[in-house]
Chains A and B, each alone.
Chain A
Amino acid sequence: MSGVLVYSEQPPLTLQNLTFASSLGYPAAAAVLGPQGESWSEQYFNHGAQRVYCMDDPSLSGLQTDIVSEALCQIADHAEAEIVLISSTLRGREVAGRLAQKLHVGCITDAAKLRAEEGQWIATRYSLGGKTLSEQVLNSGRKVIAVNPNTFQAEPLASGVKGDVVEVAPRAAVSPVRIIEQKPKPDTGINIESAEVIVCIGRGLESEDDLSMIQEFADIVGGVVACTRPISHDRHWLPEERMVGISGKKISPSLYFGIGVSGQIQQMAAVLDAKVIVAINNDRNAPIFQNADYGIVGDLYQVIPDLIEKLSR
């Protein structure tokens, strides 16, 4: 048992993890569940998979966790995988836990980094609510590791491999969880994860109308407007994919403005990779100032217009 089995319900993320697994020289296999198998296997081979396991069955169409984890358990046995590498999307981290329990093995979710040293896979994830980074290893024979999306870059191999496709028949029944409706969230086409400048607002902003002032400032500095959880999830002023934090998006801009943001650790933990952090807050004791490079203590309703005016000159 030495192989790696890679799975995500989002095939582009599987390519990322395959690139990593094959770069280590481990025999890598990939699993595809549902009807997309045929169309992706070629790409999987190009990214280092020596074998692609396909399972297609109507019971898999809803991606319910019980069914998906049972399918992966079956495929992991077949592949004699020591490590199952999953993308830590919401569905992925949920599947990881259930699969790990089926296999009765250890699991790490939300790995922000992953490296292999002397045969040990060492994962780094946030701990203590984001205050610390914890390095962890799993000592069980098999291991399930769920890695954050975009931790690795997908790169096709220089010389293509030709692996084989293995069809596996499902043994799982239909999930008792019935899907009634799937309502897509609006896609605004803005991706804060790759933005170079982020202008993040928090509850210090008093009304939705004031977003236009923030947008004006963001336009001047070439930035994208992002927000804290209360702004997207409670007040609904911005879509949820703009929310920064451990339960939202992790960002790594070269310049980050936190405006009317207190800088609670669950939010700030996702900003620590920013090159320069600027805080604008009227409370000198706000925690964000301890994590900032530059801070302006003052009312954002005075500071932002002043910044806009000076930067527009």
Chain B
Amino acid sequence: MHIVVCMKQVLDLEKIRIKPDTHEPVLEGVPVCLGDFEKNALEQAVRIKESLDDVTVTVVSVGSPKLNKTIMEALAIGADEAVILVDPHVNGSDAMGSAIVLANVIQKIGDCDLILLGEGSTDEYSGQVPSRLAEILDLPQVTYARELEVLDHRIRAVRDLEDMLESVEVELPALVSVTQEINQPRLPPLTAILKAGKKPLHVWSLEDINASAEEVGTDAAVCEELSNLAPAKPRKEMIFDEDIDSSVNQALEALEQEGVLDL
């Protein structure tokens, strides 16, 4: 059985500063990492591999050249190999562009029984890529899975919806997106980190999948961003850090003045 896990390289959001005057995010120089939900997807793939015979796990990612390094973490966690599509233009792709590129990569890899993704990417959290990818590859999709097991040539999953837990079954091949509750991703041991560099890493360009930047990159994006600013909601930031007694008194006094404490 062959599992493909789609992982996105995202900016380390904790490290993004906001310019106080313009509310613009400062993105230059911010380090990158793999998305959070995708770590759950990868962990699930590795657990399936550990519990069954003959499972290979390939991690696939589309992004900037920094992926060469970022993807090592996935190999250390337990993916057997990685295919990364590296092109400066795909950083500006929209969900449709990303899904098309991912689909082409997966089709070129061939023979894939199960595709795992996160329920959303850490930065955009649009949830579009799983649906779009399933549509392009003409696969059944199961999203928001908080439980997933492989039985014979089918899977059983429990979907976590607003008002219900929905158990579903579907024959493979299929595409599944997972929630963070599905498992606790492992931290790779040092030895695995050292060995990761020896695992196969395939670096592809848009040419390798017969696509061009005009078709799938920044210029092809139909979703245009007009502005992207931190919300300008100035908070008072009055922090009381004296002894508890006087801090509480000051806070209560302030809330009374705000007129929000209706006792």
Contacts and interface: CB of A to CB of B under 8 A. Distances in A.
Does chain A bind chain B? yes
Interface of A: 65-66, 69, 89-91, 93-98, 100-102, 104-110, 122, 126-129, 131-140, 175-185, 187, 197, 220-222, 229, 233-234, 241, 246-247, 254-255, 265, 272, 275-278, 284, 289-299, 302-303, 306-307, 310-311
Q: Which 4 A-B pairs have the closest CB atoms?
A: A97-B131, A297-B241, A106-B222, A97-B128
B142 interface: yes
Interface of B: 11, 13, 16, 18, 25, 94-96, 99, 119-120, 122-132, 134-136, 140-144, 156, 161-171, 174, 180-181, 222-231, 233, 235-241, 244-245, 247-249, 251-252, 254-255, 258, 260-263
Given A106-B94, A278-B255, A181 B166 contact: yes
A255 B255 contact: yes
Contact of B240 (A100, A127, A294): A294
A115 B95 CA distance: 22
B140 A175 contact: yes
B231 A106 contact: no
Contact of A101 (B135, B163, B165): B135
B223 A138 contact: yes
A129 B244 CA distance: 34
A292 B225 CA distance: 29
Contact of A94 (B16, B127, B226, B239): B127
B124 to A, nearest CB: 6
A265 B260 contact: no
B263 A303 contact: no
B142 A177 contact: yes
A109 B164 CA distance: 21
Contact of B237 (A104, A181, A292): A292
A179 B157 CA distance: 10
B236 A134 contact: no
A132 B163 contact: no
Nearest to B156: A180
A221 B244 contact: no
Contact of A140 (B25, B144, B166, B222): B222
Nearest to A98: B131
Nearest to A293: B236
Given A94-B143, A296-B251, A182 B166 contact: yes
Contact of A306 (B94, B131, B162, B244): B244
Given A131-B230, A294-B251, A294-B254, A177 B240 contact: no
14 contacts: A66-B134, A93-B126, A97-B129, A102-B135, A128-B16, A129-B125, A135-B228, A176-B170, A182-B164, A241-B162, A276-B258, A284-B241, A293-B237, A295-B240
Nearest to A186: B163
Nearest to B230: A132
A100 B128 contact: yes
A241 B163 CA distance: 9
Given A109-B127, A306-B245, A184 B251 contact: no
Kindly name the residue among B132, B143, B156, B248 whose own CB sees the greatest number of chain A CB atoms within 10 A: B248
Nearest to B229: A132
B260 A101 contact: no
B225 to A, nearest CB: 5
B226 A297 contact: no
A129 B14 CA distance: 9
Given A96-B128, A134-B228, A296-B248, A180 B239 contact: no
Contacts of B128: 93, 96-97, 100, 107, 109
A275 to B, nearest CB: 7
A133 B163 CA distance: 28
Nearest to B133: A101
B225 A96 contact: no
A274 B174 CA distance: 42
Nearest to B159: A90
A295 B13 contact: no
Contacts of A180: 156, 167-169
Nearest to B260: A255
Contacts of A306: 244-245, 248
Contacts of B251: 278, 294, 296
Nearest to A254: B260
Given A180-B167, A233-B181, A290 B237 contact: yes
Contact of A292 (B96, B135, B239): B239
B250 to A, nearest CB: 8
Given A106-B94, A129-B122, A134-B227, A292 B131 contact: no
B140 A176 contact: yes
Given A65-B143, A110-B125, 13 more contacts: A94-B131, A97-B131, A107-B95, A107-B96, A107-B223, A127-B228, A132-B18, A133-B229, A181-B167, A184-B163, A296-B244, A297-B241, A311-B263
